[in-house]
Amino acid sequence: MAAPSTKWRERVGADEEMRHALYAHEFSELQVRKSERYGKGRTLHRKQILGLEGRFEVLGGLPEAACHGLFAKPAAYDALIRLSNGGPDRQDDRKPDVRGFAIKVRGLSGAGALGSGPTNCQDFLLINHSAFAFAGADEFVGLVRNTVKGPRAVLRYLVGRYGLLGALAQVRRFSRTFGKPFSGFASEPFFSAAPIACGPYAARVRLQPAVAKTKKRAGDWASEFLAHLNAGPLKFELQLQFFVDEASTPIEDASKDWPEDVAPYVTVGVLTLPPQDPESAKGKAAAAAAESTAFDPWRALAAHRPLGEVMRARRVVYYESQKGRR
């Protein structure tokens, strides 16, 4: 186990601004096509499973590396939660997909990560994978671009980019990622998969599940989650995993897991979701708020600025997606 280090660095490519603008344009076009089919909505994570209200508590007695920004002192805040399937389509829950667990901690006051003024929230956008299936944004955009065209387009893209043997390796990797068994939003861990700042430190984020994992596969993730929620409050632990060195915990490569034996997780807060009825007036209001609100890793305190090329691309792409929902 190594001590958290402040010696992390970002490496910004000379062509990033141009590339990210092109990515934003491509995703905007995809969003328009999908919105014509389903109505206005997000480019990805279009299907909302549930929108919920919760309470986030920052714990006391944290190590020095954690005591920055949101985690500087013990406190409790209201939170808005959005559970989602990750794809651009509103597909059946039984189909393999990335799952999203987005948290908006509200009632804050501090300098914003965008550098354009203060913010009143801290967003955490988490998925059920500890790392992305790609090192940088270029690979991801290429995959999405061709996935919407069909399996043959994906195969042509992979062979053209990686060669035949490399393409087969990528197919196996993507199959492991997108075909990963999923037991439910209450019983799976969720991850930022890319780092954020924590004051002078850098860290990835994990949300530890509230209940034990089961092998049962649900066909309706909302009903599965509500069954747990109606049995009593669900408590999730929010944890930070700190950068220690570039070899073990790279900032720019989003495809690499950070090993826990080198960089263990530290619990910094608890998210509590009380029982709630989605059919009640309050439940419908929470669902509407989660659907209409923008969840964005850059809607954050400056102390928790998103880090790495994937996060920098999201700054541009998410902004365009938000404009497309108006």
C-alpha distance from residue 241 to each of 201, 244, 262, 319 (Å): 10, 9, 10, 27
> What pLDDT is stored for residue 213 in this prediction?
76
Give me the mean pLDDT over the 300-319 stretch: 95
- Structure letter (DSSP) for residue 215: S
Q: Domain spanning 16-324 has what CATH number?
A: 2.40.180.10
Residue 148 has pLDDT above 80, yes or no: no
The predicted model scores a pTM of: 0.93
Residue 171 has pLDDT above 70, yes or no: yes
> Residues of the chain with pLDDT > 70: what percent?
97
Q: Give CA torsion, residues 306, 312, 316, 318, to 10 deg.
A: -50
| Contact (CB, 8 A) for 246 and 195 | no
> What pLDDT is stored for residue 77 in this prediction?
98
Digit-coded pLDDT (tens) for 10-58: 999 999 999 999 988 888 888 888 888 888 889 889 999 999 999 999 9
Residue 178 has pLDDT above 90, yes or no: no
Confidence bin at 216 (pLDDT 50/70/90): low
DSSP string, 11-46: ---TTHHHHHHHHHHHHHHHHHHHHHHH-S--SSS-
Residue 266 identity (one-letter amino acid): V
C-alpha distance from residue 216 to each of 91, 96, 187, 220, 306 (Å): 20, 15, 11, 12, 35
